Structure 1
Amino acid sequence: MRVLVLFAHPAQRKSSINLAMADVARRVDDLTFVDLYEEYPRFQINIDREQKRLLDHDVIVFQFPIYWYSTPSLLKEWQDLVLEYGFAYGPQGKLLADKFALISVTTGGRETDYSATGGNNYPLRQFLLPLQQTATLCGMKFLPPFVLHAANHIGTPEAQRHVASYGALLSLITTNQLDLDEAMTRDTIFPADLPIMAEH
């Protein structure tokens, strides 16, 4: 599987966990890693180049921190410009059909904050519905998100496990060892329980 990671983080000087995850992703064999804020600091997105990247890959990973219950602004700009009518959707726009979309996201809040009784009132998957529907409209298969809550402290054992598991997850995808059918049945992909293909 050809994997493209689109990394979007506007405040990298304040991030350690996402930078550690990005560093792990860069080291995965046979994977294309793109830092959108490094490539497009003035938001002048090269639409043709980005569309070609999408066509050249089977799995598109969007890695970003939750910003005000949504994506960072450059990633939204990327969606608005790159996923054009006639390319990504519409009667003649089926070029992304059957590709996989995977969200790798971090939150500042705890998992309990993302619940009906928590401070954010809704589960995290509710906030990701626009991305899921975008993938569905484009004919893509939306994998459950790979999530780290309370991601402000990379020194915690949970954060360190998450970083290592991110690399493992990407490696499993590139080597066709991730059980995508099993993954699609889950609400989220947990670092401690990656769905690995059974050996025959």
Structure 2
Amino acid sequence: MKKILINYAHPAKSRSTVNRSLIKTTNSLEGLTVNDLYANYPDFLIDVEREQALCEAHDIIIFQHPFYWYSTPAIMKEWLDLVLEHGWAYGSKGHQLEGKIFLQAISSGADAETYQPSGYNEFTYAELTTPYRATAKLCNMTWLPPFVVSGVHRGLAQDELQKHTDDYLKTLTALRDDQIDLVLAGQQETLNSDLNSVIKAGM
């Protein structure tokens, strides 16, 4: 059983129905740690040694956050800047993250159709998350396309929200139990665009 770390960053989580629901569904999952960055570091003074130790103790590192300005909330950028040190995360002697899985779980305000060349945002999720794919590559991690919940600003119907929550739990469980076809998953636009196709038979 693989161990999962969720680095969770939402500066206004009390108002986020989607992220609260996604995080709540993880409570029952064995082998998973939620690291709430805003709760742990309200002053932004990140304990680098603690964070590196958490990463070393887990096999799968998930960055869950709203898709602020096509990127992450500020504290997650701070985390990346400080924690992913040369000689630890990358470089000739930086092998501590090698082979671990890197995944973003993001919520976006606009609908998925706007994240297309012909849509309002013009660029796809794959294009806009390229810096994180490059980060995973630099750290010799196994990158997976993001798990995306879109259309948050219009308000999700309860059944729609429940489906995303169920899919998130299914994704986490499959990752933990090594039941994701990583090659096939890496070819998807988003991990949950065709989730059943990337989960190995028997799940």
TM-score range, shorter chain: over 0.9
- Choose 1-10 or 183-192, whichever is displaced more: 183-192
Aligned residues: 199
Deviates more, 1:64-73 or 1:111-120: 111-120
The corresponding residue for 1:197 is 200
Establish whether residue 31 from structure 1 lines up as the match of residue 25 from structure 2. no
Residue number in structure 2 paired with 1:110: 111
Deviates more, 1:184-193 or 1:79-88: 184-193
Structure-2-length-normalised TM-score: 0.92
Task: Write the deviation string for residues 57-104 of structure 1: whole angstroms up to 9, x where unpaired.
Answer: 111011111001110000000000000011001111121111110111
Aligned AA for 1:56? Answer: A
2:68 alignment partner in structure 1: 67
Correspondence 1:181 to 2:183: yes
Preserved CA contact (<8 Å) 1:162 1:191? no
Matched residues in 2 for 1:157 and 1:122: separation? Answer: 28
Deviation, structure 1 residue 27? 2.4
**What's the secondary structure of 1:62's corresponding residue?**
strand
2:3 maps to: 2
Matches of residues 1-200 of structure 1 in structure 2 within 5 Å? 1-152=2-153, 153-190=155-192, 193-194=195-196, 195-199=198-202
State the distance in 2 between where 1:154 and 1:139 align. 36
Which runs of 5 or more residues in structure 2 are unaligned?
Answer: none
Letter in 2 for 1:162: H
Normalised by the size of structure 1, how large is the TM-score? 0.94
CA distance in 2, matches of 1:154, 1:38: 26
Distance 2:127 2:195 in 1: 22
Deviation at 1:157, TM superposition (A): 2.4
Which letter does structure 2 place at the counterpart of 1:180?
Answer: L
Q: 1:89, 1:47 → 2: CA distance?
A: 15
- Cα distance change of structure 1 residues 111 and 191 upon mapping to structure 2, 3 Å threshold: closer
Unaligned runs of 5+ in 1: none
